[in-house]
Structure 1
Amino acid sequence: MGKLTRGYIQVYTGNGKGKTTAAVGLGVRAAGDGYNVFLVQFLKSGFTGELESIKKLEPDFRIFRFEKKRGFFWTLNDSEKAELKKEIQAAYRFCLDALENNKCDVLIMDEIMGAISNELVSKEQVLQLIEAKPDNMELVLTGRNVPEEIVNKADLVTEMREIKHYFEKGVPAREGIEY
């Protein structure tokens, strides 16, 4: 651990497909080169193929989830949303601890922008995480609707823009491809 002399802040955003895939790909590359990678997923509690793939890369690449399995955010009642917020805040504290105590070389916070959009974590909290990032750690943030303040703090921002998608033709999300 600690091979990075300078880590940067990367953001993958936009309405197009591929934000998590890009972040996981970066994590696979980093783990293959001996870096210690943490992937913390927000607003994802169901099965996805990356869970099984990343198990094969442990202990160099580890995935962390703090939420119990439930439906999409917009289907939850108020008490379920309150419970989810507590789980998201636990994930936030985990990330803050990882940053403050330099526990990994690469920290990926997958779908953190969705947690901001749904008011489960504040923009200010994410800016606090960015400020806590040690110089030798890479921080990767994903999700739609990235706030301008986070864009301004980032070193790299990539927007995935949908030009054409087979969902428009009624193709449902496919196991192994979309999840």
Structure 2
Amino acid sequence: MNKGTIQVICGKGKGKTTAALGMGIEALTKNRTVIMIQFLKGCPGKGSLDILKRLEPEMKIFRFEKSDGLFEDLSKEQQEEERMNIRNGLNFAKKVLSTGECDILILDEILGLLDQKIVEAEELIRLLQFKVEEMDVILTGKVFSKEIEPYVDNILEIDHLKVDNTK
């Protein structure tokens, strides 16, 4: 039986979601099932989400937030509403983790919930402890919290060595 892993993809640069999606697509080629829950992405029009939805039913993608703006740019009232939507996403993640509903669960930008102080590290650790043995979990976000390191098997840090700011 496969002992599932918990992997982190972090860093200030772009490419974390893309790397996680790549891992998910690779899993699909091996007839594994994938669920991605995206946090702090808002619901900006359809665009990118429409493209991702083409991967269904093999890869299911969920966003629980309703706002079309970045969390930090929202008014206090809007942030409170989004906090409730994010809680719904976390509850869904707990259900997926505990039931083994998929082979790979991608929690995209969940580390950002720590940065935004929407959840504490202890709550994320408790969530990860619901993981069934054979499931793989991928966490993404800009900043990696050392508090969760004992619960993580692999950490991939994306770093941009050169960025052309003239474009």
So what's the TM-score if we normalise by structure 2? 0.92
- Counterpart Cα distance in 2 of 1:128 and 1:73: 24
What are the within-5 Å matches in structure 2 for residues 1-179 of structure 1? 5-44=2-41, 45-47=43-45, 50-166=48-164, 168-169=165-166, 171=167
Taking a change above 3 Å as real, the CA distance of residues 57 and 71 of structure 1, as seen in their structure-2 partners, is closer
Deviations 1:83-135 (A, max 9, x none): 11101111000000101111111000000011111112221121012211111
Q: Verify the 8 A CA contact 2:20 2:138 in the aligned structure 1.
A: yes
- Counterpart Cα distance in 2 of 1:126 and 1:85: 15
- Counterpart Cα distance in 1 of 2:47 and 2:22: 13
Aligned equivalent of 1:176: none
* CA-based RMSD: 1.6
SS across alignment from 2:7: strand
SS across alignment from 1:93: helix
SS across alignment from 1:140: strand
**Which piece of structure 1 moves more, 43-52 or 113-122?**
43-52
After the TM superposition, list the runs of 4 or more consecutive aligned residues in structure 1 that deviate by more than 2 angstroms: 47-57
- Counterpart Cα distance in 1 of 2:46 and 2:121: 27
**Percentage of pairs with the same residue:** 37
- Count residues with an aligned counterpart: 166
SS across alignment from 1:104: coil
Structure 2, unpaired ranges of 5+: none
Q: Verify the 8 A CA contact 1:98 1:104 in the aligned structure 2.
A: yes
SS across alignment from 1:12: strand
